[in-house]
Amino acid sequence: MLIVYQLANLIVFVALYRKLLFSRNLIHVASFHFLYYFVFYYFGAATLYAEGGFKNSSYYFSVTLYPLLSVLGMYVAKLVYTRKQYRLVVNHSNFKYLYLFVIVISLLYAISLAELPVSYVLRGDAAGAAVARTIATKEYGGTKVLYYTFRVIVDYFLIYILIYLYIRKNKITPFFIVSLAGALLIALFDFQKYPAINILVMLFIAIFLYNKAMRVANISLGTLISYKVVLIFVSSYFVLGALWAAASGRLTNRNEYGVIGAVVESANAMVSDRLIYGENRPLYQVYEIVPARYDYFWGKTFPNPLRILPFEPVPFSYIVYDAVHPLGEGIEGVRGAAPTAFFSIIYANFGIVVSFASMFLFGFVVQLVNDKLLYTNKYIIPYRFVILNYVTLFATSIDIFFLSEKVILIGLVYLVMYHEYRAYGAKRLVAEECSMV
């Protein structure tokens, strides 16, 4: 019955969302969010629910109803809000400042560390790399502004730069290859595996869709069913396995066949673990421990930079991690965190009703943002993928807009690189932009 129920929900969601997936040949900014959500949460929900004795219904119905409530919010946004789209002009001359900013911040962050975690991996010290990664991330002792800026660069700016470079020349150039190599190196400074994989996936999908849009009048869901998309994910699978095998020291003292076997084994272990337990177990635990073990937090798990609000933030992701690993297994000196989907954090703070309301609101807001960025100019594509990546993170965490360094820095990219011209006096600037495309 659970499988039938979830399959029916999935069919209804796909039928509704496929009509929103592409507009003006631009992919919807929540597309990766939902892909991630279904793979890492939705499909494993029935398994966890059954293993828990069918007791944690708040978890199960939250997971299974979220897609429908969010897509409903999107359709309401389409009904109540319409806005004329104006011509977009890109300030190409400002790109070099963005590029320079990324290099400077990355170097400052690298210098601030006693030793880069990736250097331990190169020496075959997996335990040392794990501890160094914790010191470089969760327990970073340097200037916090520098660390947060570096994280935004890795997760967003590098994606923007690479897609922009490809689109500007419509091909892979030597400068693009150098920039891609540099971006992957920067992403691996603290040896977190996901950012490098994410950069590759976002970049390749963006290039694939851009080239497809140049050849067809309208892109549809069927466009994504392609051997090239399969190759993208297969390549990411092997890169993921290689990174994890290297981090765990499984590539040392092996011949070429042993290396291939270790990569495949590591990739299989990570994928199988993540599909049911890696992301889903923490989400399940949120509904287990609140309010049974912890009362509702009433906003205290939200960030409070500079303590401008009268409360001390509760590190809820650490609490969830400890609930998932009650025996404290792990490497000594490594602090584990278990962030979960945004609506579970709302639940932990305000309860199930507000959590369901947040699902609808999420879809509503995302649709407004998506439609705001439906410009015809091709140079909106890099920025849309930045927003797409930002929306994707809500499958694993929550971000409070008015307290977010991510929103501030992503907003600055828009202000630096883009202008909307509405007046007739801007026709000359628009003409200049058209001549450069």
Answer yes or no: are the C-beta atoms of 133 and 192 closer than 8 Å.
Answer: yes
Across 50-59, 230-239, 322-331, which has the greatest mean pLDDT? 50-59
| pLDDT of 280 over the 70 cut | yes
pLDDT of residue 337: 79
pLDDT of residue 242: 76
Instruction: Kindly report, residue by residue over 33-92, the tens digit of the pLDDT.
Output: 999 999 889 988 999 999 999 999 999 999 999 999 999 999 999 998 877 666 778 999
In angstroms, the CA 347 to CA 342 distance is: 9
Answer yes or no: are the C-beta atoms of 109 and 157 closer than 8 Å.
Answer: no
In angstroms, the CA 5 to CA 67 distance is: 13
pLDDT band at 294 (very low <50, low <70, confident <90, very high): very high
Confidence (pTM): 0.84
Widest Cα–Cα separation across the chain: 68
The Cβ of residue 302 has, within 10 Å, a number of other Cβ atoms equal to 18
Instruction: Kindly report, residue by residue over 134-184, the tens digit of the pLDDT.
Output: 888 877 888 888 999 999 999 999 999 999 999 999 999 999 999 999 999
CA of 45: how far to CAs of 2, 13, 281, 337, 383, in Å?
A: 9, 17, 9, 21, 33
Q: Where is average pLDDT lowest: 39-43, 124-128, 211-215, 394-398?
A: 124-128
Q: Where is average pLDDT lowest: 272-281, 320-329, 365-374?
A: 272-281
Indicate the number of domains in the chain: 1
Q: Which residues span the domain enclosing 316? A: 2-436
The Cβ of residue 89 has, within 10 Å, a number of other Cβ atoms equal to 21
Q: Check residues 325 and 20 and name the one with the higher pLDDT.
A: 20
pLDDT of residue 348: 96
In DSSP terms, which residues pair with 23 in a beta bridge? Answer: 26
Spacing of C-alpha 44 from chain mean position: 20
In angstroms, the CA 299 to CA 313 distance is: 9
Q: Where is average pLDDT lowest: 26-30, 72-76, 222-226?
A: 222-226
pLDDT band at 437 (very low <50, low <70, confident <90, very high): very low
pLDDT band at 375 (very low <50, low <70, confident <90, very high): confident
Q: Check residues 219 and 34 and name the one with the higher pLDDT.
A: 34
Across residues 194-206, what is the average pLDDT? 88
| pLDDT of 429 over the 70 cut | no
**What is the sign of the dihedral through the CA atoms of 172, 174, 180 and 181?**
positive
Virtual CA dihedral for 349, 333, 148, 175, nearest 10 degrees?
Answer: -130
Instruction: Kindly report, residue by residue over 245-279, the tens digit of the pLDDT.
Output: 766 667 767 777 777 787 777 776 666 555 455 67
In angstroms, the CA 382 to CA 389 distance is: 11
pLDDT of residue 67: 97
pLDDT of residue 221: 75
pLDDT of residue 92: 93
Q: What are phi and psi of 173, to 5 degrees?
A: -110, 165
Q: Where is average pLDDT lowest: 174-188, 189-203, 268-282, 418-432?
A: 418-432
Whose CA is closest to 189, among 100, 141, 119, 108? 119
| pLDDT of 376 over the 80 cut | no
